[in-house]
Each structure stands twice: as C-alpha cells, then as structure tokens.
C-alpha cells in the first residue's frame, strides 16, 4: 500500500518540527496531556533503527530498511504525561536517549528506504484520535495536510546548554564544546540530506524558544492549539 494514502479523516493533527534540543518533546507532552491528544515522538523511530544498527553492526541501507519495516516498535503513554518506547518486550526509552544513538538515528534517517519504511507507522499512529507528532519532516512529508504546523527552534548554544543539563542530570559527563560540535553536525546532516530534510513546512508557525522558559514555550504552543480547537 502507498502509505501516503492513509487518510487523516476527521481527526486533527498537529505537526511540530525543529532541531534537536529545541524542547519539542517537553512541549508536545505538555500539549498532549492538556488537550488529550495522542503523541508520537517520531525521532524515537529513527533512534530505534539507529540502536538496531549500533547493536547489530548493520550499516547497509537495504538491510536497515528491512529492519525498520519489521521492528516491533511501540510508543506508549505510561502515566503522568510520560511515554515509554519498546522494541518488542524490551523497554528502550533510556537507551534511545543516548547521544550516540541520536547520531546513529540521524545517519539512518538519511536513507530514503528507512524513511519510507517508517512512514506508515507515523500516519497510522493515533488512529482516529486527535494527534500531535514531533520530528523533522512531520509538517512537510508525514502530514503535509496537518491542521497546525509549528517549527520550534532555539539557538544552537541554548539547545546545547539544555541538552548538557539533561545529560548531567542522568549522571553523564559533558563537555559543552563537544556537544555543540555534535549538535551542529547532526543539524547539518538533518537539514542538508536529499530526502525529507528538516525544514519549516509551508504555513508553519515559527516559535523561537531561545529566551523562553519551558513553561513559556508550552504556553505559546498550547495557545496555538487552543485556537485550533476553539
């Protein structure tokens, strides 16, 4: 089946794209609990393929495309506005957050076959519920017919600072300069690839969170969603 023909139907879809560390996850989780939306962090799918690639040593695009199509991935709410990612019975939420898995996710995300293999899951997700998804190409490729498109961004330095705090809270040692260099490399790979590069989709509303707190970022996005549902 051509996955792009999976219809949106009557449900409303909110697409939130932007670079790593802009606060997409926290903002979307907040919106999902506030408005009762299904939520999918699409980056977790690419990270899961990246994790499979790192664990198995497979780097071949055809083999990874097959793995992406067959992987038993699930993304489930676990209460308190939190979500957990599973590969079969194994919970991989924490494993997926590792910096090297993000890099591996970004590398496999440049493979057109892998992207195609993950499209159906993204379009089916939420089924007939109002849904919010975050990623890099949700508004441009996954749901070009989304009801609301937001491009959430922040300066590279601010994003690196936030990611450093997150990693430090998990007990990881962080050298901020290295983090900035790795984030820049990932941003460039995600924005410059040939297939479905990260971009603000036509009609997307730009939300720059550089000088906003998380609460302020959430409020801004929630106001946009509230206007859609009014």
**Which residues lie near ligand DC (CB under 6 A)?**
20, 42-43, 46-47, 102, 105-106, 109, 135-138, 186, 190
How far apart are alpha carbons 98 and 48 in whole angstroms? 11
Nearest distance in Å: CB 136, ligand DC: 4
| Separation in Å, CA 146 to CA 8, 76, 140, 176, 191 | 8, 22, 9, 36, 21
- Report the residue number, 182 or 218, with the smaller CB distance to ligand DC: 182
User: 167: which residues sit within 8 A by CB, 6+ positions away?
Assistant: 99, 174, 179
Reduced to 3 states, what is the DSSP secondary structure of residue 58?
coil
Helical spans, DSSP H, in 57-175: 61-70, 93-97, 99-108, 112-124, 156-169
Q: How far is the CB of 171 from ligand DC (least distance, A)?
A: 20
- Whichever of 165 and 226 has its CB closer to ligand DC, that residue is 165
In angstroms, what is the minimal distance from the CB of 147 to ligand DC?
18
| For ligand DC, the closer CB: 31 or 138 | 138
Q: How far is the CB of 93 from ligand DC (least distance, A)?
A: 12
Among residues 30 and 102, whose Cβ is nearest to ligand DC?
102
């Amino acid at each position: 089946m051509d996955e792009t023909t999976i219809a949106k139907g009557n449900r409303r879809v909110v697409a939130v794209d932007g670079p790593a560390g802009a606060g997409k996850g926290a903002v979307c989780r907040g919106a999902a609990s506030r408005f009762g939306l299904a939520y999918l962090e699409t980056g977790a799918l690419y990270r899961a393929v990246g994790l499979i690639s790192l664990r198995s040593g497979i780097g071949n695009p055809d083999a990874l495309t097959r793995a992406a199509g067959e992987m038993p991935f699930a993304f489930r709410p676990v209460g308190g506005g939190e979500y957990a990612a599973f590969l079969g019975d194994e919970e991989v939420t924490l494993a997926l957050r590792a910096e090297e898995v993000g890099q591996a996710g970004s590398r496999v995300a440049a493979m057109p076959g892998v992207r195609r293999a993950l499209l159906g899951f993204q379009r089916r997700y939420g089924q007939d519920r109002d849904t919010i998804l975050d990623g890099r190409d949700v508004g441009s490729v996954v749901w070009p017919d989304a009801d609301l498109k937001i491009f959430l961004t922040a300066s590279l330095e601010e994003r690196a600072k936030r990611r450093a705090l997150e990693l430090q809270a998990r007990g990881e040692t962080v050298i901020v300069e290295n983090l900035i260099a790795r984030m820049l490399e990932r941003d460039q790979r995600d924005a410059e690839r040939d297939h479905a590069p990260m971009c603000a989709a036509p009609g997307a509303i730009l939300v720059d969170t550089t000088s906003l707190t998380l609460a302020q970022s959430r409020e801004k996005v929630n106001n946009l969603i509230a206007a859609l549902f009014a």
